[in-house]
Amino acid sequence: MSEKTIFQEIIDREIPAPLVYEDDLVAAFNDVNPQAPTHVLIVPKKLIPRVGEAVADDQATLGALLLAAGKIADKLGIKDRSKGFRLVINHGADAGESVPHLHVHLLAGRNLKWPPG
């Protein structure tokens, strides 16, 4: 991939976006098109196009995404709420992927139906 994704531009501070969370492996920011009152995108700093393209060497980064989700939920005061939160990873256009850079959606603040539609 020769062009940077919008997420890489945010991580590189080429596009301004207030970060909700950041560590050595991931960055997180609010989704510009939120699907719930809380909608945070958790993105690895390393470009992994989608979860199905991750390799064994990406194991620490994949774990960091989920650990960051728990830290962010705690920071936002939604971790211990009985109502909870949802994590979503899309793979491919039919799943709703719009940016070819692996990311986890953290959604909360409304009743999230099952099955998702």
**pLDDT band, very low/low/confident/very high, at 2 (cuts 50, 70, 90):** low
Residues 6+ apart with CB under 8 A from 86: 105, 106, 107, 108, 112
**Residue 1 reports pLDDT greater than 80:** no
Residues linked to residue 88 through DSSP beta bridges, in sequence order = 105
Domain ranges of the chain: 6-108
**pLDDT band, very low/low/confident/very high, at 116 (cuts 50, 70, 90):** confident
pLDDT 10s digits, 52-110: 999 999 999 999 999 999 999 999 999 876 779 999 999 999 999 999 999 999 999 99
CA neighbor of 78 nearest in space, from 27, 37, 41, 24? 37
Give the domain 6-108 fold.
HIT family, subunit A (3.30.428)
CA neighbor of 44 nearest in space, from 107, 89, 95? 89
More confident residue, 64 or 111: 64
Residue 117: per-residue pLDDT:
66
Active site residues: 103
